[in-house]
Structure 1
Amino acid sequence: MTKTEQLVTSITKGIQEKKGQDIVIIDLRRTDGAIASYFVICQGNSPTQVEAIAESVAETARKETSEKPANVNGLGNSQWVAIDYIDVIVHIFLPETRSYYAIEDLWEDAEQTNLPNID
């Protein structure tokens, strides 16, 4: 497992710890002009949950891989939080914001992995 793949695993674990829903991992390594190797997309049901997921992702990634984000955008309004780990970009949405932007659909040719929700 590469360091980037380990980071994706830690990120998804952080999302699942705070009951993030509808996790999609998009593998962009074979996509020309992609800004990252992976996108990890999920949603929370409230701004509070979106923020809790973002904190859990950052903490889990730091503990398990010693990675810190290069940038975090969207905290405070918490409808869409983007966490940039350079090779991996995490998008945490409220459901209505996620459906409006539909970023999963931008890379339909990329391999997408949908993880089952954990109750």
Structure 2
Amino acid sequence: MAVPEPTLDALHIAAKAAATRQAENIAAVDVADRLGITDAFFFASAPTERQVKSIIDEIEDQLREQLQLKPSRREGESENRWVLLDYGHFVVHVQHDEERENYALDRLWSDAPQIDLPETD
């Protein structure tokens, strides 16, 4: 696996933060060998736009508090159907359940190595 330890730490924090806001289908994949522009993608989803916003805000807050990380870009916030936080070495995608199903990023990256995340139940 090509994902560096600091990125793994950040993904674990993101997973825990998302879980505190009842995110669903939390996952992360190692895309470093396939993309070259980032090491990992983090995915989570929620049934409402309000919950998508809550999850994304919590992830951003926890990464800032614990690791002093700020995203270089934040996109999709106007509708909160698919919000993206770009941290350079990893990208956070929080999607409304319908977008998660329609765009099927999990299937698109199904051949990429899965990253073990902490239990979030």
Instruction: Name the TM-score, length of structure 2 as normaliser.
Output: 0.88
**How much has 1:76 moved relative to structure 2?**
2.3
2:26·2:43 contact (CA, 8 Å) conserved in 1? Answer: yes
Amino acid at match of 2:72: A
In 1, Cα distance between equivalents of 2:27 and 2:6: 19
What is residue 102 of structure 2 aligned with on the other side?
100
What is residue 18 of structure 2 aligned with on the other side?
15
Amino acid at match of 1:54: I
Segments of structure 1 that go 5 or more residues without pairing to the other structure are none
Corresponding pairs, count: 117
**How much has 1:117 moved relative to structure 2?**
5.6
Amino acid at match of 1:70: S
Are 1:59 and 2:61 counterparts? yes
Amino acid at match of 1:67: L
1:14·1:57 contact (CA, 8 Å) conserved in 2? Answer: yes
Segments of structure 2 that go 5 or more residues without pairing to the other structure are none
In 1, Cα distance between equivalents of 2:62 and 2:7: 14
In 2, Cα distance between equivalents of 1:56 and 1:117: 15
In 1, Cα distance between equivalents of 2:113 and 2:54: 28
**How much has 1:38 moved relative to structure 2?**
0.7
In 1, Cα distance between equivalents of 2:9 and 2:98: 30
What is residue 42 of structure 2 aligned with on the other side?
40
Q: CA RMSD in A?
A: 1.7
Aligned partner (choices 91, 101, 117) of residue 89 of structure 1: 91
In 2, Cα distance between equivalents of 1:81 and 1:64: 21
**How much has 1:45 moved relative to structure 2?**
1.4
In 2, Cα distance between equivalents of 1:113 and 1:99: 21
Runs of 4+ in 1 over 6 A off after TM superposition: none
Identical counterparts, % of pairs: 25
Instruction: Name the TM-score, length of structure 1 as normaliser.
Output: 0.89
